[in-house]
Chains A and B, each alone.
Chain A
Amino acid sequence: MAVLEVRDLEKRFDSLRVLHGINFSLEKGEALAIIGSSGSGKTTLLRCLNFLEKPDKGTIIVNDKVIFDAMDPSTQKESEVRKKRLHFGLVFQNFNLFPQYTVLKNVTLAAELLAKERPDYKKNKKAVMEEIQENGKRLLAQVGLSDKLNFYPHQISGGQQQRVAIARALALNPDILCFDEPTSALDPELTGEVLKVIRNLAERNTTMIIVTHEMSFARDVADRIIFMDDGVIVEQGTPEEVFDNPKEERTRQFLARYNEGR
């Protein structure tokens, strides 16, 4: 069963068309990598899924439920958008950790705020909070940061910050975890530790969409590859299909340039 289905998505910034006729679906447990040159619309696509941009056309379906339909304003109510966002987790290129909170608090803050909205919160306050703390610690252990719980973001390296950001996104148990060029702001030495964490998530069959410029990583980790150019999906398929036998000339050019640079 498809967790996510995107149909005919289109996004314009004024007269500039950045996404056009985007169609794809994602199965549960699948890791999808989106590759393509800068400005091809990859990031905008992720931002549309996370309701940070509003598509001008198209529908987004999660677990067989239409959560966004550009033609139907009732699917775009501000109050519901907030909850719909929780289907997705997003890891940003620049981490965007909250600087005034410790590593652990960064991971638990959103869950704590959401818990306060639960009707049974007052009764079980202590148990609920304890559970959130435990979950936060477990996730930070999973990304290898058990020894940094009480550090502030500026006290740890970029790679560690990004791993905190991954734990933070996982804390709300999203159906689909999205990565927006998660290693692009890191120097090569720190890239590996972040990729390792993502690889580990893929092995646990986490449903993911990864926008990346790390081709060999995409090839290794992803079950499926989408190649985007100029706002459209040029080609999609298994890593073998896209990397070894690209059908489209544009894909070949892109990969050739990438292979040259290696």
Chain B
Amino acid sequence: MNQISVIISRLSESFLINCRLFVLTLLFSLPLGLLIAFGSMCRFKPLRWLMRTFVWVIRGTPLMLQLIIIFFGPGLIGMSFSWPNGDAGRFAAATVAFVINYACYFSEIYRGGIESIPKGQYEAGQVLGMTKGQIFFKVTLLQVIKRIIPPVGNEVMTLVKDTSLARIIANKEIIMMAGEYSSKGLIWPLFATGIYFLVFIGVLTVLFDYLEKKLSYFRA
């Protein structure tokens, strides 16, 4: 009995790493994705080409590989930069890899959302003497948000589960923790991790349903 509660508290503790990685990734990748989206729609061709190639590379390679490259890469190519020692460094490297990876996915969602707004909305703003900024913030932004909530929700839920990939560079997140038990022959902690993810995703589902409902007062 005592052992069970010890295991659960250690699993919960390690799940905090997943949660922290989740929050930090969203915090930085959501705005970074917007910058990449603008870059990939830019009229200046070299920038647009660069951004689209970057997105292709990031979306075209496994996140697991990106984690390894970002963690070990700087040292291997002899850069003066190196990650801090210990847990902090491993976690920082994981965060950077996740932010870059998810920003690219978000950028494509943003781009799709922005490009799906009918041209007439921009033109209506233009003939009413609005500036480009006013048209973006006052006319199109909310329509874009409404349209991208479902795909963003999908991506955010994938992120929750992807956070456990951080174990590849020895971040002791929940699955790695459970794995230590299963390698000693105790299998149930691994199954128990599923409950953590399920609960987390359940909360997110409610949240995204709420957001969708909030914006259902208009049709776009």
Residues of A within 8 A of B (CB): 50-52, 82-83, 85-86, 88-90, 92, 94, 96-101, 109-110, 113-114, 152-154, 168-169, 172
Of the residues B121, B139, B218, contact of A152 by C-beta under 8 Å = B218
Interface string of B133-144 (1 = CB under 8 A from A): 010001100110
In contact, B217 and A152 (Cβ under 8 angstroms): yes
List A contacts of B219 (CB < 8 A).
99, 152-154
Nearest 9 pairs of A and B residues by beta carbon: A110-B128, A96-B120, A96-B124, A154-B219, A90-B127, A100-B218, A99-B220, A99-B218, A100-B142
List B contacts of A172 (CB < 8 A).
128-129
In contact, B143 and A99 (Cβ under 8 angstroms): yes
Q: A99-B218, A113-B134, A154-B218 are in contact. Are A82 and B129 (CB under 8 A)?
A: yes
In contact, B126 and A52 (Cβ under 8 angstroms): yes
List B contacts of A52 (CB < 8 A).
123, 126-127
List B contacts of A101 (CB < 8 A).
218
| Distance between B99 CB and nearest chain A CB, rounded to angstroms | 30
Number of residue pairs spanning A and B whose beta carbons lie under 8 angstroms apart: 64
Bound-state CA distance A153–B143 (Å) is 14
Bound-state CA distance A206–B131 (Å) is 27
CB pairs A–B below 8 angstroms (7 shown): A50-B126, A52-B126, A94-B120, A100-B142, A114-B129, A153-B219, A154-B219
Bound-state CA distance A97–B120 (Å) is 9
List A contacts of B146 (CB < 8 A).
100
In contact, A85 and B220 (Cβ under 8 angstroms): no
List B contacts of A152 (CB < 8 A).
217-219
Size band of the B side of the interface?
20 to 34
Bound-state CA distance A92–B138 (Å) is 19
Q: Which B residues between 112 and 159 are near A, CB-CB below 8 angstroms?
A: 118, 120-121, 123-131, 134, 138-139, 142-143, 146
Bound-state CA distance A114–B131 (Å) is 10
In contact, A96 and B126 (Cβ under 8 angstroms): no
Inter-chain pairs besides A92-B123, A153-B218, 18 sampled, C-beta below 8 Å: A50-B126, A50-B127, A52-B123, A52-B127, A82-B130, A88-B127, A99-B143, A99-B220, A100-B146, A100-B218, A100-B220, A109-B128, A110-B125, A110-B128, A110-B130, A113-B129, A172-B128, A172-B129
| Distance between B53 CB and nearest chain A CB, rounded to angstroms | 29
| Distance between B63 CB and nearest chain A CB, rounded to angstroms | 35
List B contacts of A86 (CB < 8 A).
129
Q: A99-B143, A100-B143, A100-B220 are in contact. Are A83 and B129 (CB under 8 A)?
A: yes
Q: A99-B143, A100-B218 are in contact. Are A85 and B129 (CB under 8 A)?
A: yes
| Distance between A121 CB and nearest chain B CB, rounded to angstroms | 15
In contact, A98 and B121 (Cβ under 8 angstroms): yes
Bound-state CA distance A109–B127 (Å) is 13
Select from chain A the residue with minimum beta-carbon distance to B120: A96
List A contacts of B118 (CB < 8 A).
94, 96
List B contacts of A113 (CB < 8 A).
129-130, 134, 138
List A contacts of B143 (CB < 8 A).
99-100
In contact, B124 and A92 (Cβ under 8 angstroms): yes
List B contacts of A97 (CB < 8 A).
124
List A contacts of B217 (CB < 8 A).
152
Bound-state CA distance A153–B219 (Å) is 8
List A contacts of B126 (CB < 8 A).
50-52, 82, 85
Q: B120, B130, B146, B218: which has the most chain A beta carbons within 10 Å?
A: B218
Select from chain B the residue with minimum beta-carbon distance to A178: B127
List A contacts of B128 (CB < 8 A).
109-110, 168, 172
Bound-state CA distance A82–B143 (Å) is 23
List A contacts of B127 (CB < 8 A).
50, 52, 85, 88-90, 169
In contact, B218 and A82 (Cβ under 8 angstroms): no
Bound-state CA distance A86–B146 (Å) is 30
